[in-house]
Amino acid sequence: MNLEEALQIAKERNLDLIQVTEKVEPPVCKIIDYGKYLYWLQKKEKTAKTHKSSELKGIRLSFNISPHDLETRVLQAEKFLKKGDRVRAEIILRGRERAFSELAKGKVNQFLEMLEKLIPIKIERELKKEARGLTVIIAKQ
């Protein structure tokens, strides 16, 4: 409807004509109380601030991890991913374990394969060698 009609209807109802968006042609307007509209915008802004983005959860694997413990870590990672969080899987290498980094990569890859069977994942950061060991960051696809 045209602007004059909308203003007339708003005046009859003792309400305000508020432009909701200007990005479309013609602009979208609502007939509501301006005070309530401001309150609604403030409330929406406040909830947007408190809503947290996905956290980065950590899963620690060890060099000599048993198959059952690996399954437990996979289930924990699956729970984190289903909640919407990202997961950093790390394997800490101590002393002489650093010489066997290929075996450690195999353990991490085994962890990723087991996790892939349960839930579709994407690797955000590839397996990376760091000072203390190896890390990989995973997210839900």
Q: In this structure, what CATH number is given to the domain that contains residue 46?
A: 3.10.20.80
In the 8-state DSSP scheme, what is residue 54? Answer: -
Does 7 share its domain with 73? no
Q: Which domain holds residue 43?
A: 3-50
Does 42 share its domain with 61? no
pLDDT of residue 50: 67
Does 135 share its domain with 79? yes
Does 18 share its domain with 87? no
Summarize the confidence of residues 108-127 as an average pLDDT: 93
Higher pLDDT, 39 or 2: 39
Q: In what order do the strands lie in the sheet with 121-129?
A: 56-61, 86-92, 133-140, 121-129
Count of domains in the chain?
2
pLDDT of residue 138: 94
How many Å apart are CA 135 and CA 120, to the nearest integer?
19
Does 35 share its domain with 72? no
Does 17 share its domain with 40? yes
pLDDT digits (tens, 9 = 90+) for 64-108: 999 999 999 999 999 999 988 999 999 999 999 989 999 999 999
pLDDT of residue 80: 93
Give the CATH number of the domain where residue 68 resides.
3.30.110.10
Does 32 share its domain with 100? no
pLDDT of residue 109: 94
Does 91 share its domain with 131? yes
Angle at the Cα of 106 from the Cα atoms of 84 and 136, rounded to 5 degrees: 30
- Comparing CA positions, the residue from 58, 118, 116, 115 lying closest to residue 85 is 58
How many Å apart are CA 24 and CA 13, to the nearest integer?
26
Does 110 share its domain with 81? yes
Does 20 share its domain with 81? no
E strands, 11-78, are 16-21, 28-32, 56-61
Structure tokens at 110: 């085994």
Higher pLDDT, 116 or 21: 116
Flag whether the pTM goes above 0.95: no
How many Å apart are CA 28 and CA 66, to the nearest integer?
61
Residues with Cβ within 8 Å of residue 82, at least 6 apart in sequence: 119, 140
